[in-house]
Amino acid sequence: MLQKRVIPCLLLHKGGLYKTQKFKKPTYIGDPINAIKIFNEKEVDELMFLDIDASVENKEPNYKMIEDIASECFMPLCYGGGVKTIEQMKKIYALGVEKISLSSQAVLNPILIKEAANIFGNQSVIVTIDIKKDLWGKGKVFINNGKKNTKLDPFEFVKKVEALGAGEVVINSVDCDGAMQGFDIELLKQIKKHTTIPVIALGGAGKLEHIKEVFESSNVDAVACGSMFVYQGVLKGVLISYPPYEKIQELLGKK
């Protein structure tokens, strides 16, 4: 069984590091390379970088930035944003990225998941699913930074991407993004019932207890956190951080 993981998730926007709240109000955090240098000093499981401009603006991935990030990063790296073709994926993997996250293209061109998994291996292809709930509490899959409702049922969609060969799935709650009030436990519990591949919970972490709760209550395989690792205190002062290895192990009941 894979070890439970705690993954910093960092958003790239206009060449810098940003944080959002419910996919809105991007706030500048700092320079991506400086953040990586800090995480290199910690015992971080892996890093996830998501470019929130590329798909919306119909741009190619920023290969120079990806190369700079990968060359500085000493832990496994996942990149997502603007990836539409196998050729683009080849370029990104060649730069030193271990995993690529497909989001909008997983909806618009799902066969890309299958093609990529066959060429690069399931473990190298993950799918990030952005889910937003309507007034009646029913979740739908959104793309383009939460702007477009695909009307797809998230539980059926997660089964589809697994069947196509995705090695992992990131469940990103739009409603919990940046709120730091905890994960959507019920959503994650239902997702786990509909898939056998590893599930990474994203959106809602504000303190270590939220991580402990989501592992214990929903049995997800990993958590990804943004705000919790870039903000400090009630005034949300910017401070890149990561809990000590011993604290993570204690959190997961390993000590």
Catalytic machinery residues: 130
For residue 72, the number of C-alpha atoms closer than 13 Å in the C-beta half-sphere is: 17
Alpha-carbon distance of 123 to 125, in angstroms, equals 6
Closest CA to 162 of 98, 227, 228, 106: 106
DSSP string, 68-128: HHHHH--S-EEEESS--SHHHHHHHHHTT-SEEEESHHHHH-THHHHHHHHHH-GGGEEEE
Residues linked to residue 171 through DSSP beta bridges, in sequence order: 129, 201
Alpha carbon 3 to its chain's center? 17
Alpha-carbon distance of 231 to 163, in angstroms, equals 38
Q: Cβ(82)–Cβ(54) under 8 Å?
A: yes
Q: Which residue has the tokens 């991506």?
A: 32
Side chain identity at residue 106, one-letter code: A
